[in-house]
Amino acid sequence: MLVLSVFSLPADVKAKAIQTVTTKPVRTSEIVLGRILGFAIVGTVLLVIMGFVGWAFVVRSVSHTHELEAVDLLAERLEDGRVVGYEGRTSLERGHRHRVEIDPDGIGSTDTTQGHRHGVRRIAGDGETAEYALGQVEGLLEARRPLRGKLRFLDREGRPSDKGISVGAEWSYRQYIEGGSLAAAIWTFEGILPDAFPEGLPLEMLVRVFRTYKGDIEKGIAGSVRVRNPTSGLQSDPFYFTAKEFTIDSLLIPRTLAATSADGGTRQVDLFTDIVSGGRVEVVLQCLEPAQYYGVAQADFYLRSGSGTFVLNYAKSCLGIWFSMLLVTAIGVMFSTFLAGPVALLATLSVVMVGQFREFIQRLFEAQLTGNTKEMPGGGPVESLYRLITQASITVDLEQTPLVTAMKTVDTFLLAPMRLAASLFPSLSSLGTSDFVAGGFDIPLDLLAAHGCETLGYLMAFFIAGMFCLKSREVAS
């Protein structure tokens, strides 16, 4: 679409085909709008086709099942010999297996492996002659609707802290809490109502682990989760779990909870009556094993307030691609009204590239003005070239010599027009919502509405600019 949009109008002007149109009672706005709409329709048809192909590829890539036979199961019996359930393992498919737990009625499920699970049911027979069938993949093609909270930390002494511990990782997105101490990560959730969560709080979490020693390789790192009243401080007894790295774990906090008082007595409390205060509740995470660390970020703990449809979520993601396609088409048509085809192509690519790095350019310019090298190390283009030639690390501040001062001054003047262009032109990367689909989260409708309004505004601006540029251009020889 980019090539068509930038070469179509210049080719018609060169071939003198457009002068037969402009000599008739046709407005230049109709020519520009017609080109944009025509190319947009062609691109939409191609996007629909590719969308269906992509959907089929996604479904096919995750669809699989496992086999489970009676000989793979071990019966769990009471002292009197009664069978209370079965456990075992499935067959190996696509490089993984699942552990299975089945009740005496033949209904069960697998554990979560590689981010998904399967339902299990008995279809025939009983005991050693039973036949089982596993259901389709659950947990991958989802559209979760999270209710997120605000994160704060306690240090190893239990005192409030702005952030957790740094374990030396290059990416400082997650902060760590020390195990076997009073260190904790606390999320405060708001808007907790009984009507929204009638069965309890469906908590979902993603916990990273940093090990200072290997420990037991057959066991994970244990931790605990508690819910606490943010006003009175009343908290429930801990829910124990084992961290599952790179996998979203779920925990349902029931309506009725056990709470231990200061004198050691245990009583039953109601989640919404005793723990939730004014629609607010705190979730406290602790690592229980000394010399081990839990790493979390604010978005890693959330309450699942509902679920959308993956098909609709995929379609909304394609809508973001459609917005980007419309903008690229409009930019190409605008530049083609006053530039030759190759030059218009280069100009369109430049605008798209500047928009793609909008946030980076803005942060780099602000760091250049404030001198905050920790925010964006490395400096501007001239300083970066100097560091490449001298093999100087970006983490080391340059000595404040007249040459370095001159380089920083030149970089500031070079970055100023780039920042202006980045602020004026659209950022196609901000319109993309594929991360939501890949992470299994529902794309909010208000976000799509904001992207749609932004796209419409840029389309109107490019259309008006293209109309006036074509109107002021001599198209006839």
Q: Which residue ranges form the domains of the chain, and what is each CATH number?
A: 2-58+309-471 (no CATH), 70-134 (no CATH), 144-307 (2.60.120)
Using the structure block, give the residue that is written with the tokens 């283009």.
381
Beta-carbon contacts of 370 under 8 Å, excluding residues fewer than 6 positions away, are none
Which of helix, strand or coil describes residue 425?
Answer: coil
pLDDT at 354: 83
Beta-carbon contacts of 439 under 8 Å, excluding residues fewer than 6 positions away, are none
Tokens for 187, please give them: 């999320």
Cα separation, 138 vs 111, whole angstroms:
11
Which amino acid is it at 208?
Answer: R
CA distance readout (Å), 84 to 80, 102, 180: 11, 9, 36
Contact 281, 230 (CB under 8 A): yes
pLDDT at 403: 83
User: Angle between the 402-424 and 341-356 helix axes, to the nearest 10 degrees?
Assistant: 110
pLDDT at 326: 95
User: Angle between the 310-336 and 445-471 helix axes, to the nearest 10 degrees?
Assistant: 20
pLDDT at 95: 86
Beta-carbon contacts of 245 under 8 Å, excluding residues fewer than 6 positions away, are 207, 208, 209
CA contacts within 13 A on the Cβ side of 355: 20
pTM of structure: 0.83
Cα separation, 42 vs 2, whole angstroms:
12
* pLDDT tens column, 69-123: 888 888 888 877 788 888 999 988 888 888 898 888 888 988 888 888 899 998 8
In this prediction, the residues of the chain whose per-residue pLDDT falls under 50 are: 476-477
Cα separation, 151 vs 9, whole angstroms:
54
pLDDT at 474: 58
Structural element, H or E, at residue 314: helix 310-336
Q: Alpha helix (H) ranges present in 357-426?
A: 358-370, 381-390, 402-424
pLDDT at 477: 43
Cα separation, 397 vs 409, whole angstroms:
16
CA distance readout (Å), 178 to 174, 181, 212, 227, 324: 13, 6, 11, 20, 44
Structural element, H or E, at residue 471: helix 445-471
Beta-carbon contacts of 65 under 8 Å, excluding residues fewer than 6 positions away, are 93, 118, 134, 135, 136
pLDDT at 224: 96
pLDDT at 454: 94
Contact 412, 368 (CB under 8 A): yes
Closest among 239, 242, 236, 301 to 273, alpha carbons compared: 236
Instruction: Report the side by side order of strands in the sheet with 175-178.
Output: 175-178, 292-296, 208-211
